[in-house]
Amino acid sequence: MWARIDGDRVAEITDIDPKGRFHPSIEWVVCSEEVGTGWRYKDGKFSPPDPEPVPVPVQVTRAQGKAALITAELWPDVLTFVESITDPTEKALVEVALNDTTHWRRDSPTMQAISSALDISSEQMDDLFISASNINL
């Protein structure tokens, strides 16, 4: 097998010997069958591409969200945050969002308020939503 190298990436794979078939400036390197398009090539070695990022779900079920927070040991902190809300209307709306909705949306004002109050970074929130989406109860 042969790999055509473009910069530090494998751009093409062929089983036909490319010598004499293509312009001499095109770099072809012998490779094993496991090498594929998108692999990296540096210092004479091949390495697979970085894995695709896991998409962050837009929403999860309320049960999945609570389970993820429980697993991450954050649920007591969420309850403490809710109890700390002094405005009765705001507190009631947060309780509805946490306890009465069927789904929790990543971009909801309640999720933003909770992440801010608990000092949860955007990346950590993404991880919680990814984790929640994989929970089957």
Q: Torsion-angle region of residue 47: left (phi > 0), alpha (psi -120 to 50) or beta?
A: beta
Write 131-136 long-range contacts (CB < 8 A, 24+): 131/68, 131/71, 131/72, 132/57, 132/60, 132/61, 132/64, 132/65, 132/67, 132/68, 132/104, 133/57, 133/60, 133/64, 135/63, 135/64, 135/67, 135/68, 135/71
- Choose among 22, 21, 47: nearest CA to 34: 47
Would you say residue 25 has pLDDT above 90?
no
- Residue spans per domain, the chain: 2-47, 59-133
Q: Which range in 10-24, 36-50, 76-90 is most confidently predicted, on average pLDDT? A: 76-90
Would you say residue 39 has pLDDT above 80?
yes
Average pLDDT estimate for 78-82: 97
Cα–Cα distance, 39 to 41 (Å, whole number) = 7
Whether 24 contacts 97, CB under 8 Å: no
Q: Take residue 99 and report the two structure tokens written for it.
A: 């306890």
Q: Quick: pLDDT tens for 118-137.
A: 999 999 999 999 999 999 98
Rg, Å, the chain Cα set:
25
- The reported pLDDT for the residue numbered 78 is 97
- The reported pLDDT for the residue numbered 17 is 83
